[in-house]
Structure 1
Amino acid sequence: MNIKKLTPLLTLLLFFIVLASPVSAAKYLELEEGGVIMQAFYWDVPGGGIWWDHIRSKIPEWYEAGISAIWLPPPSKGMSGGYSMGYDPYDYFDLGEYYQKGTVETRFGSKEELVRLIQTAHAYGIKVIADVVINHRAGGDLEWNPFVGDYTWTDFSKVASGKYTANYLDFHPNELHCCDEGTFGGFPDICHHKEWDQYWLWKSNESYAAYLRSIGFDGWRFDYVKGYGAWVVRDWLNWWGGWAVGEYWDTNVDALLSWAYESGAKVFDFPLYYKMDEAFDNNNIPALVYALQNGQTVVSRDPFKAVTFVANHDTDIIWNKYPAYAFILTYEGQPVIFYRDFEEWLNKDKLINLIWIHDHLAGGSTTIVYYDNDELIFVRNGDSRRPGLITYINLSPNWVGRWVYVPKFAGACIHEYTGNLGGWVDKRVDSSGWVYLEAPPHDPANGYYGYSVWSYCGVG
């Protein structure tokens, strides 16, 4: 639904109806409790300023699906104006309200539409995560830069908001030092050690962080954190709090966890992402299991720091996505669902079912009980809120079954919670902890999704 096409009166009526919703909390788990996140965009979403209203129209359905938070693209006016995806920030304080770079609205819409989106999400108990791009700026004017002996695009004195003006002294190299942890795309690299830049980015009540908080953002996704010190994120969170994750795109688990502990934020589990590609696209589950058992993923070293994903706006290499989503939504870590997977490419009902399983069953530590090239069976051992489960992933084109030892469920009735076996299936685990479990073929084109999930009978 495009709210812009409605009459002003109908738009206002719809707005107040939504805000009058009695919902005040996430349907299942809260964001801070490990609830499921929706990445609410992809690269080159439709332009024309319709995206904020489009996402707002999705909120009621996503609430019913159990989404706890939505991650929005960078909201500020970029160098590319109405074409920008936000990763080339020009005026941090222009959220679609000033005419500059050829447009008033951003690619996604106006500030007013963004605020209505956030208010609607909050009315449904859904948190909103801002994508924060503070490694660099883009779109400045040319000025003479004595530190490089040439002209550089570092003059930001003409930003329409009048806030966070900058010049060559605010970027590397300058009188403080030549550089920091990294540069991106050839854009001017912000020097975060300058008091002026700290003041306008996070360290004051006039800052960009304060501005985003004032319109309702609840959490932060920090872009390209390899480009600046982890202390920046830690200081940002000390000032403004909120759930946070960093994009540290690397497979070095020690480096990712070092950044996570120093910053105080979570981190995307890129090592797991690549191991899932190896396992599920190349029938090499032993490689994934080895990584999990030998601390080569974030989730296996510290699941409370791991944000797991199957695809995002930058990378989408896993093509066997059903087993990958079955894995991240039943394993440890906090999962993210990619917009296009949910809304366009995969069976939405299957993902909604897995969200329910994640929030109601998938608690506690993990024990892997069987694996080979095609099959993976693991047990979640439960916690104070969720009873635990057994996940059986099958990559082969055939029905499979196997006796497995699951002493946690000894003597219990267990139920299959996905419906992938063709109907209602209950089993009794014998008193010694053995049970025979099945999984369907991996053949999504013919309605077989290659996984089953079991837990105690009668949950939910």
Structure 2
Amino acid sequence: MKDNFPSVSRNNETILQAFYWEMGETGHPKEEENLWLLLTQKAPELSEVGFTGVWLPPANKAMGGKKDVGYATYDLWDLGEFNQKDTVRTKYGTKEELESAIKILHGNGIKVYYDAVLNHRMGADSTETVKLSLNSPDKPGQTILAWTKFTFPGRKNKYSDFQWNWQCFDGVDWDEKTKTSGKFLFEGKSWDYTFIRDDDYLMGADVDYENLEVQEDVTNWGNWIINEIGFDGFRLDAVKHIDPRFINQFINDVQKSSSKDLFFVGEAWIEDINTLAKFLDTVNNDDLKVFDFPLRSSFEDMINGTDMRTLQYTGLVNKEGYKNRAVTFVNNHDTNRDGKDPGIYKRKYQAYAYILTREHGIPVVYWKDYYIYNMKNELDKLLEVRKYFAYGPGYEVDNNDEDVYSYVREGLEEVEGDGLVLMISDGESGEIISKRINSGQPNTTFYDYTGHVQGKIITDERGYGDFKVRKSENEGWSVWVPVIKK
């Protein structure tokens, strides 16, 4: 603990997304070509600044071998151990290096989460002739040559002897016989039940989760990842395209296999708050959290200026009954790609200040923002605020307006010197705005931890003080924290 900082018994949860799409490619840092080794080096500094968990990329062998980001799932059981897809290692390293990284991260108090791509398979070892359903969207009743035979010859049945064929899938998007693409539903199959009707098919060979052997193999793999490899939970990719009944069963079975309190977050790309809540209701498992895409939509609105008052009720993180089911974020590997979508590129610090000081939700910091876009120094200040000051009940103030949003954390009764007053602005005039705010802490001296506004503020006997923020894109966030008495 730093000198003259509040002494809290347990840190707030904070996750680092430890990768981005182009990681390890030409033009990016050389050290990132071996992510598992890099994480072993960075573990102490990540722990020191306040990260309690890291979300790793898909660690299994994918169709593109060592150049594949990991989302084209080939063999879940190959974590960089077998010569498959012309490589032993994955894009990020070997299984041995991965296990070493997990051990070192754990030794630094950091949990490790696996990005599980369970919706589809790609890169089959051979083709099969498959007749299509009369209900197939394309080529109904015809026969195609489908890439659906997965025998994993390099693994030689180690860990699992289950081999996949067309009966493990509902359909594919490619006919090798005619070299044509389409949406092909197999005979005797129907698209799996999904949250949004007819939203099962996404890409590749679509896994049939009504197949009991498939359910067993995937669940066995989940248990192995947790209990043998040492992960502490999962990010479930494209979860709204998978049968919610299987998701519920998978979570229950894997959690039951472990004495650890596991973490599960689903990527359900739904930007409407009520629909996202309904998705959680449909899965019906209290252990599942979801990424707060509705909140991120509000951060997108903030790029060009928005009514800042909306921040008090936007997002799943502010919906009663669901606040603690939200995993909040600003950018990720899907929303930010080189040469394509920049994602949120303005007022990004304001967005991070919001999620890192909030009472509810588990915030995620994006590696590319932290290390590649040179935001580390300023984000470290916000991470320290979260680690040392962002405690106690949170509440909205009564004088938010179109340009300035403020939020208060009262601090814990048993801890001296925690709590905060957050102020963020979407203005650009450069002027300093003052707001009379009840900090919940009477007769207390505060200073702006970000350094954007100089001087100190002393609250009165009721806890009120005149707190300030600058109307500026580059400095328009201030976090006022108590001065610790020496």
TM-score (norm 2): 0.80
The answer to whether the 8 Å contact 1:272/1:308 transfers is: yes
In the alignment, which residue of structure 1 is the partner of 2:168?
Answer: 170
The answer to whether the 8 Å contact 2:202/2:241 transfers is: no
* Corresponding letter in the other structure for 1:310: V
Deviations 1:116-168 (A, max 9, x none): 11111011111000000101111112101124532211111244323331111
Q: Does 1:319 align with 2:341?
A: no
Kindly tell me: are residues 142 and 330 of structure 1, through their superposed partners in 2, closer, same or farther at Cα, counting changes over 3 Å?
A: same
How far apart are 1:49 and its partner, in Å? 5.6
The answer to whether the 8 Å contact 2:397/2:437 transfers is: no
Separation (CA, whole Å) in 2 of partners of 1:221 and 1:403: 40
Matches for 1:305-454 after TM superposition, within 5 Å: 305-316=325-336, 317-320=343-346, 321-331=348-358, 332-363=360-391, 364-383=393-412, 387-397=418-428, 398-406=430-438, 408-422=440-454, 425-444=455-474, 449-454=475-480
Matches for 1:89-238 after TM superposition, within 5 Å: 89-140=73-124, 141-148=126-133, 149-161=143-155, 162=157, 163=160, 164-172=162-170, 173=186, 175=188, 177-181=190-194, 182-183=199-200, 185-202=202-219, 204=220, 207-238=221-252
Q: Does 1:255 align with 2:275?
A: yes
Decide which structure has greater helix share.
1
In the alignment, which residue of structure 1 is the partner of 2:13?
Answer: 35
Separation (CA, whole Å) in 2 of partners of 1:122 and 1:369: 43
The answer to whether the 8 Å contact 1:28/1:68 transfers is: no
2:298 equivalent among 275, 280, 292? 275
Deviations 1:319-350 (A, max 9, x none): 12111111111123111000011112133222
How far apart are 1:113 and its partner, in Å? 0.8
How far apart are 1:365 and its partner, in Å? 2.9
How far apart are 1:431 and its partner, in Å? 2.7
The answer to whether the 8 Å contact 1:251/1:271 transfers is: yes
How far apart are 1:85 and its partner, in Å? 0.8
Deviations 1:337-390 (A, max 9, x none): 000111121332221121121132223232133333321112234456774321
The answer to whether the 8 Å contact 2:423/2:468 transfers is: yes
* Corresponding letter in the other structure for 1:59: A
Secondary structure of the corresponding residue to residue 369 of structure 1: coil
The answer to whether the 8 Å contact 2:239/2:267 transfers is: yes
The answer to whether the 8 Å contact 1:367/1:380 transfers is: no
How far apart are 1:303 and its partner, in Å? 2.0
The answer to whether the 8 Å contact 1:275/1:291 transfers is: yes
The answer to whether the 8 Å contact 2:34/2:92 transfers is: yes
* Corresponding letter in the other structure for 2:317: V
* Corresponding letter in the other structure for 2:373: W
Secondary structure of the corresponding residue to residue 399 of structure 2: strand
Separation (CA, whole Å) in 1 of partners of 2:45 and 2:61: 29
Larger deviation, residues 298-307 vs 172-181: 172-181
The number of residue pairs the alignment matches comes to: 418
* Corresponding letter in the other structure for 1:420: H
Bigger relative CO (Cα 8 Å, ≥ 6 apart): 2
Cα root mean square deviation, aligned: 2.5
Separation (CA, whole Å) in 1 of partners of 2:446 and 2:245: 47
Deviations 1:29-49 (A, max 9, x none): 87xx75110000000211596
2:22 equivalent among 5, 23, 44? 44
Kindly tell me: are residues 146 and 231 of structure 1, through their superposed partners in 2, closer, same or farther at Cα, counting changes over 3 Å?
A: same
Kindly tell me: are residues 347 and 139 of structure 1, through their superposed partners in 2, closer, same or farther at Cα, counting changes over 3 Å?
A: closer
Kindly tell me: are residues 28 and 297 of structure 1, through their superposed partners in 2, closer, same or farther at Cα, counting changes over 3 Å?
A: same
Separation (CA, whole Å) in 1 of partners of 2:326 and 2:48: 25
Q: Percent identity?
A: 30
Separation (CA, whole Å) in 2 of partners of 1:165 and 1:440: 61
How far apart are 1:216 and its partner, in Å? 0.9
1:74 equivalent among 53, 58, 71? 58
* Corresponding letter in the other structure for 2:190: H
Separation (CA, whole Å) in 2 of partners of 1:357 and 1:459: 17
TM-score (norm 1): 0.84
Separation (CA, whole Å) in 1 of partners of 2:467 and 2:241: 48
* Corresponding letter in the other structure for 1:186: M
Secondary structure of the corresponding residue to residue 298 of structure 2: helix
How far apart are 1:92 and its partner, in Å? 0.9
How far apart are 1:176 and its partner, in Å? 5.4
How far apart are 1:256 and its partner, in Å? 1.8
The answer to whether the 8 Å contact 2:403/2:425 transfers is: yes
How far apart are 1:459 and its partner, in Å? 8.1
Secondary structure of the corresponding residue to residue 58 of structure 2: coil
Kindly tell me: are residues 237 and 459 of structure 1, through their superposed partners in 2, closer, same or farther at Cα, counting changes over 3 Å?
A: farther
The answer to whether the 8 Å contact 1:99/1:160 transfers is: yes
Secondary structure of the corresponding residue to residue 90 of structure 1: strand
Secondary structure of the corresponding residue to residue 131 of structure 1: strand
The answer to whether the 8 Å contact 2:421/2:480 transfers is: yes
* Corresponding letter in the other structure for 1:153: W
How far apart are 1:214 and its partner, in Å? 0.9
Q: Gaps spanning 5+ residues in structure 2: where? A: 1-6, 26-31, 134-142, 171-185, 256-261, 337-342
Separation (CA, whole Å) in 2 of partners of 1:167 and 1:310: 39
How far apart are 1:453 and its partner, in Å? 1.1
